[in-house]
Structure 1
Amino acid sequence: MLKATILSFALALPVAATAQDTQIDLGGAAQDTSAPVGVDADQLSVDQAAGAATFTGNVRVAQGALRMAANEVRVEYGESQNEITALHATGGVTLANETLAAEGREASYTIASGQVVLSGDVVLTQGSSTIAGNRLTIDLASGSGRMEGRVQTLFQPGARQ
């Protein structure tokens, strides 16, 4: 609902601009990818052979200031269950920290590279600015991002971030 409201508001204003692909400076999105990852959910299913665990129902993931929420999150492990290599979230995914919030249908987070990819009707809000597209790639190490796929942006003239 919030995503639809933000998007409809952004599309209704005459200052909205569109593009196919946009590079984004996410400033405060930089994240320590070596910080511990905490997960809580209603249910947990572990597949030892596949080296994965699937959390379902009201899933919340935290790593430092980074927060993710989704209906389901699959956690992939390295050689031990203490080494998380990737997270794959589906169903109403929200990603947030102190400076930004993003929503999409799916997200993949590769821990080693610090790359998060949100896809499916993505809406990113940072300060008073909103940007929407089909796919958002965030580099947590550098705090930069790239929105792709019929990008729609709302700029607030004179607004401070």
Structure 2
Amino acid sequence: MIRRFLIALAVAGLPALAAAQGTDVKFGSLKQDTSAPVEVTADALAVNQNAGTALYTGNVVIIQGDMRLAAPRVLVVYSEAQGRIERMEATGGVTLVSGEEAAEAERADYDIEGGTVVMSGNVLLTQGQNALTSEKMVVNLESGAAQMSGRVKTILQPEKGQ
């Protein structure tokens, strides 16, 4: 009985365990459209025209397609030439949700044009019942691939009925 349980646990966890050892994981059930409009809501906004920045504070929520990012503070940096959003820097405890997966970290830097999000500081990625932790996670929003680094730990939950 115990042997069957261990075999079932090993088989169920092999893909995630292999991903954790290689530090590559899949994030989000869909590829993110990085050209989709970006919607930002917050309690307050301070714009600095000279620096080309906008600082959103208080219950900041950013939505782009199926991706949702929430944080207490987000600095938006605009590109000088085109007036478009170049990048966003979210701090103070960040939550990123895509599909059925969610990630939390102390900070997230979102490069709009590059289509990447770099989360750092006590990163926690949950995928269903499973969880992965690390110090840094880089998510490619076009492919949905993520790479975790800095003491990666994986917690695999066996499926019920195994």
Counterpart of 1:135 in structure 2 is: 136
Counterpart of 2:52 in structure 1 is: 51
Per-residue CA distance 1:104-135 (angstroms, 9 max, x = gap)? 00000000111000000000001221100100
Query: Does the 8 Å contact 2:130/2:157 carry over to 1?
Result: yes
More strand per residue: 1
Tell me how far apart the structure 2 counterparts of residues 27 and 47 of structure 1 sit (CA, whole Å): 34
Counterpart of 2:103 in structure 1 is: 102
Query: Does the 8 Å contact 2:27/2:98 carry over to 1?
Result: no
Counterpart of 1:26 in structure 2 is: 27
Alignment of 1:36-115 (within 5 A): 36-79=37-80, 83-115=84-116
Query: Does the 8 Å contact 1:25/1:145 carry over to 2?
Result: yes
Per-residue CA distance 1:59-102 (angstroms, 9 max, x = gap)? 11100110011010000112378511101000110000222100
Tell me how far apart the structure 2 counterparts of residues 85 and 102 of structure 1 sit (CA, whole Å): 22
Query: What is the TM-score when the length of structure 1 is the normalising length?
Result: 0.81
* Deviant stretches of 4+, over 6 Å: none
For the residue of structure 2 that corresponds to 1:150, the secondary structure is coil
Tell me how far apart the structure 1 counterparts of residues 127 and 107 of structure 2 sit (CA, whole Å): 20
Counterpart of 1:155 in structure 2 is: 156
Query: What is the TM-score when the length of structure 2 is the normalising length?
Result: 0.81
Structure 1 counterpart of 2:33, which letter?
D
Higher-RCO chain (CA-CA 8 Å, sequence separation at least 6): 1
More helix per residue: 2
Runs of 5+ consecutive residues of structure 1 not aligned to the other structure: 1-15
Tell me how far apart the structure 1 counterparts of residues 125 and 48 of structure 2 sit (CA, whole Å): 33
Residue 38 of structure 1: how far off its partner (Å):
0.6
Question: How many residue pairs align between the two structures?
Answer: 143
Cα RMSD, aligned residues only: 2.1
Alignment of 1:107-126 (within 5 A): 107-126=108-127
Query: Does the 8 Å contact 1:21/1:148 carry over to 2?
Result: no
